[in-house]
Amino acid sequence: MIRLLRPALWLGLLLAATFGMTSLRPLFTSLFPLLERPVYMQDSFAALLLAHLELVTVASALAGLIGIAIGIAVTRPWGAAYRGLAETISAAGQTFPPVAVLAIAVPSMGFGPEPAVLALLLYGLLPAVQNTIAGLIQVPDAVKDAATGLGFGPWRRLWQVELPLAAPLILTGLRVSVIITIGTAAIASTVGVTTLGSPVLLGLSAENTAYVLQGAVLIGLLALTTDAVFDAIHDMLA
């Protein structure tokens, strides 16, 4: 129960900020007396949070599933020929800044949410693939041989022996992937996708610091909540 305290606390803060931002109007009015509209009203903050979560969930879930599948495939005997290429690409690709990848991928595929999801997905794959491979190859041969000796088939051995032992590293990869996706999704408002980044961008172009602050606080809280959730899952696995 103690484990769940930290994520619950961050989640509480995130929800309170999302639903309570509008009632903080007096605070923003006193902080920014010169602003005519001190609270972002174009969309409700709840709608922005949902849109952001939808983008991140779709992109990260697909990146996680495909990334783990690739990691499993290239560590099986029939896919081993591809392991080197997968390792090289997932390491080298992460040198590319995610924002630059977004800026290249989205306009070349046409603006809008679908290209943004695809760009986020492609980038999110890299840490997922890298850590799945790292997690699976560090399972000792003796353990795998023992499982085979007990009569485990290759799939049962993967499911009941290799994946549980690789789980902590795979989880680290997923955490990196999701956190990067949350930040890059916020920048995706520059290509016309509505996310929690939208108030920040509108605030920057309209010189409305209150909007910037409101968006930034929610993006930060979302990332910290997600990080705390991953921490809790990690503790439960350990």
Partner 1 sequence: MPRLRPDPVLLPLVGALCVTPLGFAFVTAARNRLVSGRPVALLEAAEGPAALLGLAGLALLALAALRRGPWLAIIAAALLMAALGWIAGDYATTLSASQPTARVSLGAGFWLMLGLAALCLVEAARQTGRAGTSLATALVAAILALLLLSGTLDQLSILREYANKRDVLGMALLRHVEIVGLAVLPTLLIGIPLGIACQRRPGLGRLVLPALGVVQTIPSIALFGLMLAPLAALAAWQPELARAGISGVGMAPAVLALLLYSLLPIASNTAAGLASVPEPVRDAARGLGMTPSQIFWQVDLHLAFPALLAGLRITIVQATGLAAVAALIGAGGLGAIMFDGLFTGALDLALLGAIPVIGLAVLADLLLRLASPRAIA
Residue 128 burial by Cβ neighbours in a 10 Å radius (0-12, 13-18, 19+):
buried
* Site for partner 1 contains 56 (CB under 8 A): no
Distance between the two ends of the chain, CA-based, in angstroms? 15
Q: Which of 63, 72, 136, 212 binds partner 1 (CB under 8 A)?
A: 212
Residue 172 burial by Cβ neighbours in a 10 Å radius (0-12, 13-18, 19+):
middle
Query: In the block, which residue shows the tokens 């916020």?
Result: 186
- DSSP helix/strand/coil, 179: helix
Rounded CA separation 84/146 (Å): 27
Q: For residue 16, what are the contacts with CB-CB under 8 A and spacing of at least 6? A: none
* Site for partner 1 contains 179 (CB under 8 A): yes
* Site for partner 1 contains 97 (CB under 8 A): yes
Q: Which is nearer to partner 1, 50 or 204 (CB)?
A: 204
* Site for partner 1 contains 227 (CB under 8 A): yes
* Site for partner 1 contains 34 (CB under 8 A): no
Query: In the block, which residue shows the tokens 């009569």?
Result: 151
Q: Which of 49, 55, 106, 126 binds partner 1 (CB under 8 A)?
A: 106
Quick one: which segment of 18-26, 42-50, 93-101, 123-131 binds partner 1 (CB under 8 A)? 93-101
Quick one: which segment of 19-27, 107-115, 148-156, 164-172 binds partner 1 (CB under 8 A)? 107-115
Quick one: which segment of 145-153, 154-162, 166-174, 194-202 binds partner 1 (CB under 8 A)? 194-202
Minimum CB separation of residue 200 from partner 1 in Å reads 5
Q: Which is nearer to partner 1, 131 or 157 (CB)?
A: 131
Residue 97 burial by Cβ neighbours in a 10 Å radius (0-12, 13-18, 19+):
exposed
Minimum CB separation of residue 236 from partner 1 in Å reads 19
Rounded CA separation 16/225 (Å): 13
Choose among 185, 183, 213, 220: nearest CA to 199: 213
* Site for partner 1 contains 201 (CB under 8 A): yes
Q: Residue numbers of the site for partner 1 (CB under 8 A)?
A: 31, 81-82, 84-85, 88-89, 92, 95-101, 103-104, 106-109, 111, 179, 182-184, 186-187, 190-191, 197, 200-201, 203-204, 209, 212-213, 215-217, 219-220, 223-224, 227
